[in-house]
Structure 1
């Protein structure tokens, strides 16, 4: 298959449509939060665009020019006093200076509130989507594996395993919530693959229709150099949950995701600085994201909800990274001004923002190139 054919296979129309829709909604709500916190503090918002690039429709409403732009990728909001002011001299020459009104005139806490509102909105949206998913679909139990399929004429069928069986214990020990495998933390049900990689007798405690039974068998994971399969498809057992429990689980899941996301971003920065283009399953580019969304769309709406949750979490955490040009970087500059008891000069802030913006552009280019390179 040629490079172009490989890209076309990954970028399916269904995947493209859903990816653009999910990212557009996430970005719109992100920018809307910036807008709301600015207006709440009396700061004028000059424009609000849905999409990027050439403007195809605009309307003035409540002092803001609302725009619909041609490219359906993200959007932006222009808050008065956030960009430098233009100054025209007597000879018509144009220069710029630090803004002195609007956003620039807000106290430090007011500025941080405006900047933090966007990532917070994405974080709240992710928690809301998780709560909706958990309360509607149930909560995955990390310490129980549910058999989702049994292959015909397989060893599992011979042993009497059935679809819907729940494995609650292995070799007389309850399945733990988490297990350390090769330096990584995996849930107990995910560790079933490693158990089946260990030769010898095994006993699975299986629950079916409210009753428990033990299934004991001798297992040889490899025969004549060929890997043996038990013949089951499995996933976590699903426990029904009310809204309160679902919300609490969403908060816990979000807290547990923080170190994993930070580790993934740290790994990405390390690969970027060393120009390591090898693939990383924890961070993917636009093509990989579209490919994943396309597969999720074929599974069903709840799979799309899970993808939207992950994208909003990623957008929230990424924007809070203290790199100038991102919300986190702008917050950092505000805090530096508080510590210094005076804001940075116009030239200092401009130089930092330009450097930060260039870094972000280079990082995004690296991610895209690495994403494309897997098709060669």
Structure 2
């Protein structure tokens, strides 16, 4: 069942990505010859409105084949106003960007649905209090529920850290303990910590950790829009930073996951709850959007760079350069895929 869920989710994400390219291409009058979910031998196809819609054997991606555009034939030129190669560079950039953009839109839609259905977060309930910490000195105890900090209403544990970091000086904590409301003044101290990339940083802390308790937050349609926007932006920044840290060597290459890891994550989420599945689908959708914008020639981002070059230099890169860079791009992608699979197999055997 987990494998079926993985394939359905991946196909859905690929379909949405390629639909972005397709709609933008059709908007500018470009003929789309093939809309494919998967690669290789076709399993099913149907011609509708001049486009062959097909499902192919290898379900790990997809593509739209436009008239006048073929990575294997950089010198391809097809006459007609409905040809991709006859469109202006800025129009081609929009067509290329539309795929990743569709992934961001899909993620926002999924986060919006999650917000309406009920978003799960850690409860703002204290689990442990560190020795000699500002929280302990102020009298904070395990089981205390933090209701408000200064004038900020607290609903999730995440908001506690955000509020402590974003304010200065002493803070007024309003807590609920045994049915009673108590006020405590806490002066955070700057301490050593690690961020999500395991980098050593300094940040304001009060010395508490959360209790293993989950709270469900339900949003109205207006606040759900804000939630969806914030989560999409937050996820995008996290993945962009992750790629940057990987290039810098801060994140080891052993952390790269392949299709096996993605499949396991989706399978585990589907077994947990529909909300968990929607959340991981949204995160993977953002991931696809960000990674496809990387300036690697075989990806949308690489083709966007080619078109930006054409706008600046007022000429296209030579067919030879285009071909060499595209081959290099495929080598990079192939190497990353093999590394991901290698890491997946290592995790399976080494736990």
TM-score normalised to the size of structure 1? 0.69
Instruction: List aligned pairs for 1:1-376, cutoff 5 A.
Output: 14-83=1-70, 97-101=75-79, 102-138=83-119, 140=121, 145-146=124-125, 166-168=145-147, 188=160, 205-206=175-176, 212=181, 232-235=211-214, 237-271=215-249, 276-278=252-254, 280=255, 283-374=256-347, 375-376=349-350
Tell me the distance in 2 between the aligned counterparts of 1:99 and 1:21.
36
C-alpha change, 1:174 and 1:252, in structure 2 (3 Å) is closer
Tell me the distance in 2 between the aligned counterparts of 1:319 and 1:277.
19
Shift of 1:24: 0.5
Q: Which runs of 5+ in 1 are unaligned?
A: 1-13, 87-95, 149-159, 180-185, 192-202, 216-229
Shift of 1:167: 3.3
Preserved CA contact (<8 Å) 2:246 2:253:
no
RMSD: 3.8
Q: Which runs of 5+ in 2 are unaligned?
A: 128-140, 164-172, 185-208
Preserved CA contact (<8 Å) 1:139 1:246:
no
> Which structure: larger Rg?
1
Tell me the distance in 2 between the aligned counterparts of 1:177 and 1:166.
10
Tell me the distance in 2 between the aligned counterparts of 1:109 and 1:139.
41
Shift of 1:136: 1.9
Tell me the distance in 1 between the aligned counterparts of 2:126 and 2:272.
18
Shift of 1:325: 0.6
Preserved CA contact (<8 Å) 2:115 2:217:
no
Residue-pair matches, total: 303
Preserved CA contact (<8 Å) 1:178 1:187:
yes
Preserved CA contact (<8 Å) 2:126 2:210:
no
1:318-344 CA distance string (max 9 Å, x none): 101111110011001100111001111
Tell me the distance in 2 between the aligned counterparts of 1:45 and 1:187.
47
Shift of 1:168: 3.3
C-alpha change, 1:127 and 1:343, in structure 2 (3 Å) is same
Tell me the distance in 2 between the aligned counterparts of 1:84 and 1:307.
31
Tell me the distance in 2 between the aligned counterparts of 1:84 and 1:232.
53
